[in-house]
Amino acid sequence: MWAKSDRMDSIMQNRELSWLKFNERVLHEANRTETPLLERLKFIAIFTSNLDEFFMIRVGSLTDYALLGARHTDNKTGMDAAEQLRKILNAVAPLYVIREQAYSCVVKELARDGVEILKMDGLREDELCAMKKLFRQEILPLLSPQIVDSRHPFPHLANKRLHIAVKLERKKGSLFGLLSVPAELERLVFLDGSSCRFVLLEDLILHFADLAFDVYTVTEKNIISVTRNADLDTEEALLDEDIDYRQHMKNLLKRRRRLAPVRLEMAYPASKEFTEFFRVKFKLGISQVFISSVPIDLSFSYSIERKAGCKALKQMIWPPHAPSEALPKKGIMPRLSAGKDVLLSYPFESMAPFLELIHQASEDAAVLSIKITLYRIDNHSKLAESLIRAADNGKEVIVLMELRARFDENNNIEWAQHLEEEGCRVIFGPVGYKVHSKLCLITRKEQGKILYITQVGTGNYNEKTAAQYTDLS
């Protein structure tokens, strides 16, 4: 063994820098010309959402460690938190350039195939007039302009929420203003009744921001978004036996919304005064400010393919098939009861046989109990409905619900409460451990004998992701 040295640095990779290399490979998938264009756009969106989460969790965690000094070091390379942050920010900057090149290429090719993601300065005069009318009638009434001055303190900007930031001039000098892009409005604003020519909502609001601040002169404007630390210590205070764990998680999620910023993104290069104002307000270093000519929020990529006329530009969907063991009427319960195993391979085979198994178990008089671990489930889960039905039918239903499934905490808290209210017994994992296993045990009693049906899986009990992710059940 050896202490921190050049040799150690040369043979070991830092976890965070290695992950950035992985995410860069995701981005390179957008350059594969044999892949349909909308799928290439999705790879850019996946890269972007991955990077967002990386900043929220890994950069957020390292930022906390950096405040504690050099005691927290990477045991592979010997770098402390501050050194890792510097290398991360240096490594991320080139990724923005690569993403810009990939996005520009995909957008140009989409336009050739009739799908146009337009900028406001690319509209015809009649289209611009129509957009102005739309803005005045349907968007402006939903906007709440905010002024930042001595009497109006800088407001809290929610994590990853899009805002229009403006610099304003008045007789007594300059000041700044903000407009929140309404989350309840559709991001894609279509032109001329077309299903494949559109501008983004934030670009539309940016263009007509002067109308929202009509008593001032807008001298500079930009689209901005702040990324906040989302890494919370879920173990804090859990040694208190009287604590309500579910309420504890709710409180942590409220705290997450107000954690410190770790990154500021701007859609366009800004003046030094403009950049410094917002950088200082968010208490960020200049290396934490990124210019993103690619739309800051690319989630709209997933809704384009649902529009008419774009079907040829996406991957052909191959629906999962039902395995031969899953008979349409009897399901797999008789096969399992006879001691024969069943292997389901997602997404090539359907999750339906397992869902039918739980449904049958909920109605089967011989079933005594159903016990299951849940990590991530669908918002409208058929599985959860069957568990509730089983509890209604007098069966013991025990659900180990992991509330710390990152960014699914709210959904899991709501399901835990609903399952408990409907008669299921809900328990939570032990302090210090996250329960990530996928296990289900059905206990039956036939002719005086106790029999078990056991399911072990690699994927979550989620009907949507079972049709997308490669897993075994």
CA distance 245 to 234: 10
pLDDT, residue 307, reads: 65
The three state secondary structure string of 340-395 is: CCCCCEECCECCHHHHHHHHHHHHCCCEEEEEEEECCCCCCCHHHHHHHHHHHCCC
8 A C-beta contact, residue 294 and residue 266: no
Buried b (16+ CB within 10 A) or exposed e, 230-266: bbbebeeeeeeeeeebbebbeebeeebeebebbbbbb
8 A C-beta contact, residue 5 and residue 22: no
Q: What's the angle, vertex CA 50, arms to CA 196 and CA 432, rounded to 5? A: 145
3-state SS assignment for residue 307: coil
Structure tokens at 82: 């501050």
Match 């991320």 to its residue by tokens: 92
3-state SS assignment for residue 315: coil
pLDDT in tens, the chain (473 residues): 344 445 455 677 899 999 999 999 999 999 999 999 999 999 999 999 999 999 998 998 898 888 776 567 887 888 888 999 999 999 999 999 999 999 999 999 999 988 899 999 999 999 999 999 999 999 999 999 999 987 888 999 999 999 999 999 988 788 999 999 999 999 999 997 777 889 999 999 999 999 999 889 999 999 999 999 887 655 554 445 555 656 655 565 555 555 789 999 999 999 999 999 999 999 999 999 999 999 999 999 988 877 645 666 877 777 888 776 555 567 788 888 888 898 999 999 999 999 999 999 999 999 999 999 988 888 888 999 999 999 999 999 999 988 776 766 777 788 888 888 989 998 887 777 888 899 999 999 988 999 999 999 998 888 888 888 899 99
Q: Which residues contact 185 (CB under 8 A, 6 or more apart)?
A: 139, 142, 201
8 A C-beta contact, residue 259 and residue 230: yes
Question: Hey, CA dihedral for 78, 82, 86, 92, is it positive or negative?
Answer: positive
3-state SS assignment for residue 220: strand
Q: What's 260's DSSP letter?
A: P
8 A C-beta contact, residue 364 and residue 333: yes
CA distance 233 to 253: 11
Length of the chain: 473
156 part of the active site: no
pLDDT, residue 416, reads: 83
Query: Between the CA of residue 90 and those of 108, 288, 290, 304, 420, what are the distances in Å?
Result: 29, 10, 11, 33, 48
The answer to whether the pTM exceeds 0.75 is yes
Domains with residue ranges and CATH for the chain: 6-231+253-313 (3.30.1840.10), 333-472 (3.30.870.10)
What pLDDT digit, counting tens, does each position of 127-184 carry?
A: 999 999 999 999 999 999 999 987 888 999 999 999 999 999 988 788 999 999 999 9
- Number of other residues whose CB lies within 10 A of the CB of residue 3: 6
8 A C-beta contact, residue 292 and residue 257: no
pLDDT, residue 7, reads: 47
- Name the active-site residue from 28, 156, 321, 436: 436
Number of H helices, E strands in the chain: 15, 16
Structure tokens at 98: 């690569």
